[in-house]
Structure 1
Amino acid sequence: MKRIFVIALLAGIALAALPFLFAEKSPRPYQGWVEADTLFIGAEGTGRLERVDVQEGGTVAAGNPLFKLETSSEEAAVAAARAALARAQAELELAEAAQKRPEEIDVLRASEREANARLELAKQDLDRTRVLAERGTATQASLDAAIATEAANRAALDNVRSQITLAHLPAREQTLRQAKESMAAAKAELASAQAALARRAVAAPAAGSIETLYYRLGEVVPVGRPIVALLPPENVRIRFFVPETEIAALSLGQPVRVTCDACRPSDARISFIAKTAEYTPPEIYSLEERAKLVYRIEAIPADPATLRPGQPVDVAAGARP
C-alpha cells in the first residue's frame, strides 16, 4: 500500500512538471549600458568668458545662445576694417570721377571762350587782309601774318578743348583697376573681422541637456578647450553585446526591450550591428559562462529621456520587423 502511494505521488509530480518542461523558455536578456555621444562645445579662440547663458542640468533649444567670450579686440578689428573700407570707397570714387574739380573745369571753359573770341577776331582780320591783298593795298607779309595768327588762335582753342575733355575723364585704367581691387580687399577684411566677432558668441547646434560647464564667468578659456558639454536626446544609444551563436537572430530595425534597476521598461530599435566579432569587454559581468567572441550592437531608445549615460541595462530581443 505504501509503495503504491509513493508511485502515485511521483506520477503527480511528473504530471505537474510537464507544462514547465515543455514550455518555451524566455530569451535570456543581454547585458549592456547606456552610451551617449556628448557634444563638447568651445570657442575657436582664446579669451575671457564674458557671459554664460545656460546652467548645468538645464536644457537648451537649438540656436539658443550658450556663452560669449570678451570681444574688445574683435570689435576694434571690425572698426578698423570699416575705416579701411571707407577709405577704399573714397579712393575708388575719386578714380572714377573726373580728374579736374568743377572749379578747375570752369576756368578751362572760360579759357575756351577767350580762345574762341580770339579765333573769331583772327578770322575777321584774315578776311580783311585777304581782300586788301587782292586789291593791292596790303602786302604779302601782312597776309602771311594774318594767316599765321588765325592758325595759332585755332590751335589754342583746340588745346583748351582737349584739356576740358581730359578733365572729364576718370583716372587711367590701371589706377581704376587698382582702386577696385583695394575696395574688394577692404570688403573681404571687414567680412572676416565681422565673422571673427560673431564667433565669440556660440549658440547651441542642437537641442539637448547641459551636462557640464567647464568654465565660469571671468575665467580665461584656452583655445580648443570645451566650455559646455551638450547632450542631444538623439545622441543617446543602448550598447550591448551578443554572443556569436545568437547574432543571426537579430537584424537592423528589430525592436528590443530595455530594462534597468532604476527606470521603467522602454522600447528601442537596433540601429547598428558590428560586422566583425570581438572579445567580451570587461564591463560585461555575468554568473553564467559566456562565449568569448561577441558582436557589438547599438539600439536607439524610443524615450531617451528616461535613460542616463553609463547606466547598466538589460536588453531583451523582440520579434523581427
Structure 2
Amino acid sequence: MTHLRVMAARLLPCVITVTLGACHQAATPSWQGYVEGEYVYLASSQSGTLTQLSVQRGQTIARGAPVFALESIDEAAALQQAQHQLASARAQLADILTGKRPPEVNVTKAQLAQAVANAHKASQQLTRDEAQYRAGGIPKAQLDDSRAQADSTVAQVRELTNQVTVANLPARSQQILAQRAQVNAAQAAVDQAQWKFDQKRVTAPHEGLIYDTLYRVGEWVQAGNPVVQMLPPQNMKVRFFVPESVIGGLKTGRAVLVHCDGCTADVPAQITFISSEAEYTPPVIYSNESRAKLVFMIEAHPSLADATKLHPGQPVEVTLQ
C-alpha cells in the first residue's frame, strides 16, 4: 500500500504536466503583431511664414477644424484685384447688351422732335410757294429752294428716327461674344486667386489625432512641406503574422480580436488584407513557436470607435473571433 502511494506521488506531476499540455494544445491559437498608423501630413501648396498654428500635439480635432495658416497679404491683394477686374468686365458686358444710356437716347429723341417740327414747317412753306408760283407771285428758283428744304428736313427726320432705333439696340453679336470671353477670363482669374488664397489656410480633412507639429509660428514654410502630422482613426490598423498552415483558412472580412497589455477588453477588428507572399518572422515579433519560420502578413482594421484604444507601435496578440 505504501508502495502504491509512493508510485502515485511520483506519477502525479506527470499527470498534471500531461493535463496542462493538453489544455495548452486545446487553447485558441493567437498570433503576435503590432499596431501601425498611416499618418496624414498636412501641408500647403504655397510658401509663406507660419502665422497661426491652431492645434497642438496630442489634441483630437474634428473634420474641417482650422489647423494652421500662412501669411497671405500678397494673395489677398491679388484676389481683390481680380475681383475688381471681373466687376469691370461684367459692367462693360451689361453696357453693350443694353445699348446707349437713357439720357443719350433722350438727346436723340429731342433732336428728332425738332427735325419733325422743321419738316412740318418746310412742308407748309412749300405748299404756299407752290400756290404763289402758280399765281406768278414768286420765281421758279424760290420754289426749288422750298422743295429742297422740305426734302432735307424729311431726310433728317428719317435719319434721327433710325438713330433712335439703333440707340435702343445692343451691340453687334461679335462684340458681345468678345466681351463675354473677357468676363469668363476675369472669372477664371478670380477662381485662381481665390484658390491660392485658400491654400494659405489649411483645415483638417478628417477627424483625428494631432500626432506632431513640425513648425513653430514665425518660421518660413516652403511649399509642400508638412506642418502637421495627423492620424485619423480610419488609418489605424493591426499587422500580425500567421504560419502557412493557417493562411488558407483566413479571408478578408473575417472577425478577429486584438489583445493588448493594459487594455480593459479585447478590441474587435476585421481582416482587410492578406499578403500573398511569405516572409521571415519580423525581428520585432518574439515567439519561440514561430521563430525562424515563414509567415504571412495580415492586416486588420478596428472600427472607428475602437481605433482610439490602440497606439502605433503597440505589441498585440490576435485571435480569431
TM-score by length of 2: 0.85
Q: Which residue of 1 aligns with 2:119?
A: 119
- The answer to whether 1:163 aligns with 2:163 is yes
Paired residues of 1:255 and 1:267 also in contact (CA < 8 A): no
Q: 1:249/1:157 Cα in 2 relative to 1: closer, same or farther (>3 Å)?
A: closer
1:18-42 Cα shifts (integer Å, max 9, x gaps) = 6446545213421110011111111
User: Helix, strand or coil: the match of 2:276?
Assistant: coil
CA distance in 2, matches of 1:214, 1:182: 44
Map 1:84-163 → 2, pairs under 5 A: 84-99=85-100, 102=103, 104-134=104-134, 143-163=143-163
Cα distance, 1:138 vs structure 2: 5.7
1:215-248 Cα shifts (integer Å, max 9, x gaps) = 0100111111111111122221111011111123
Alignment root-mean-square deviation, CA:
2.9
CA distance in 1, matches of 2:154, 2:62: 82
Name structure 1 gaps, 5 residues minimum.
Answer: none
Cα distance, 1:47 vs structure 2: 0.8
- The answer to whether 1:211 aligns with 2:214 is no
Q: Which residue of 1 aligns with 2:55?
A: 54
One-letter code of the match for 1:56? R
Q: 1:79/1:300 Cα in 2 relative to 1: closer, same or farther (>3 Å)?
A: same
Cα distance, 1:133 vs structure 2: 4.8
Select 2:315's aligned residue among 280, 287, 312.
312
- The answer to whether 1:80 aligns with 2:78 is no
User: Helix, strand or coil: the match of 2:99?
Assistant: coil
1:49-77 Cα shifts (integer Å, max 9, x gaps) = 11011111111111111111111111111
1:82-113 Cα shifts (integer Å, max 9, x gaps) = 221232233223323434672x5454444333
Q: Which residue of 1 aligns with 2:44?
A: 43
User: Helix, strand or coil: the match of 1:274?
Assistant: strand
Cα distance, 1:251 vs structure 2: 3.5
One-letter code of the match for 2:196? A
Q: 1:128/1:278 Cα in 2 relative to 1: closer, same or farther (>3 Å)?
A: same
Cα distance, 1:271 vs structure 2: 2.2
Name structure 2 gaps, 5 residues minimum.
Answer: none
Q: 1:18/1:107 Cα in 2 relative to 1: closer, same or farther (>3 Å)?
A: closer
Q: Which residue of 2 aligns with 1:255?
A: 255
CA distance in 2, matches of 1:16, 1:156: 128
User: Helix, strand or coil: the match of 1:306?
Assistant: coil
Q: 1:239/1:107 Cα in 2 relative to 1: closer, same or farther (>3 Å)?
A: closer
Q: Which residue of 2 aligns with 1:277?
A: 277
Q: 1:289/1:209 Cα in 2 relative to 1: closer, same or farther (>3 Å)?
A: closer
CA distance in 2, matches of 1:209, 1:278: 33
Q: Which moved more, 1:301-310 or 1:77-86?
A: 301-310
Aligned pairs, number: 317
One-letter code of the match for 1:204? A
Q: 1:291/1:272 Cα in 2 relative to 1: closer, same or farther (>3 Å)?
A: farther
Q: Which residue of 2 aligns with 1:30?
A: 31
Q: 1:15/1:31 Cα in 2 relative to 1: closer, same or farther (>3 Å)?
A: closer
Q: 1:126/1:29 Cα in 2 relative to 1: closer, same or farther (>3 Å)?
A: same
Q: 1:76/1:11 Cα in 2 relative to 1: closer, same or farther (>3 Å)?
A: closer
Cα distance, 1:257 vs structure 2: 3.0
Cα distance, 1:43 vs structure 2: 1.2
Q: 1:9/1:205 Cα in 2 relative to 1: closer, same or farther (>3 Å)?
A: same
CA distance in 2, matches of 1:110, 1:14: 126
Paired residues of 1:257 and 1:265 also in contact (CA < 8 A): no
Paired residues of 1:129 and 1:146 also in contact (CA < 8 A): yes
One-letter code of the match for 2:222? P
Q: Which moved more, 1:46-55 or 1:118-127?
A: 118-127
